Amino acid sequence: MAPESTLSGQPLREAAGNADDPVGEPGDKKAAVKAAATVKPEDAEKLTPQAQTDALEWFVGIDEDEAPETKPLKLNFGTDETPKWITWTICPVSMETMRAIRQRATQSRAARRTGSVDEYRVNLEVVAAGTVDPDLQEAARRMHEAKTGPLDPVECVRIRFQKKPGFIAQIAGHIMSLSGFDDDDVQEVEQVAAAGNS
């Protein structure tokens, strides 16, 4: 998969870690699930009972204290000659949040005019819902006090990204991927084996 790039031609990067590395910390239940899902059929009987148990425990387990997964991105708001990297931290959005966002996006002026979902509005709202840092509620409050924007975080995102609107779709794509809406995260065993990811 080709790396995503920004409008300035700079790649949109993850701040830390390797997204292609399926192995987590020792004892990490999610890593056990991923490892179990990427085993070749002929190696399935070689799975340790512990790996199988961990996957089952992850599935039925409820961990009240588990914090939502976050992912830092680095965005270049500068130029090629003078880059200005900003760390932007995202988290997954729930299915209920996605449904509400899509419902609102079917009622926007652009959606009523075209008769389809306003994907730009969807992306704006996904970015607003899935951003951890900066705190967009606080940013909207400050922009409102400075009379540079409304109290609505979604509109503040639109205003702030006017010069680099491509970032909106890219950040939204990363949030959607983190939320499980990514074909790369759910594959048939045969696809994984053919790709050599076992």
CA distance 7 to 76: 10
Q: What's the burial of 76, exposed, middle or buried (CB within 10 Å: 0-12/13-18/19+)? A: buried
Closest by CA to 118, choosing from 131, 133, 103, 128, is 103
CA distance 111 to 15: 35
Given this model, what pLDDT does residue 166 score?
A: 92
Given this model, what pLDDT does residue 110 score?
A: 77
**CATH architecture label of 68-186:** 2-Layer Sandwich (3.30)
Sign of CA dihedral 172, 166, 17, 46: positive
Given this model, what pLDDT does residue 4 score?
A: 52
What pTM was computed for the model?
Answer: 0.61
In degrees, rounded to 5, the angle at the alpha carbon of residue 93 between the alpha carbons of residues 106 and 86 is: 105
Q: Where are the domains of the chain?
A: 19-66, 68-186
Mean pLDDT, contiguous 10-residue spans, the chain (198 residues)? 49 49 43 49 53 63 67 89 93 92 84 84 94 94 92 93 92 92 61 52
Q: Where are the beta strands (DSSP E) in the chain?
A: 13-14, 71-76, 85-90, 131-133
H-run or E-run covering 55? helix 49-60
Closest by CA to 24, choosing from 58, 49, 56, is 58
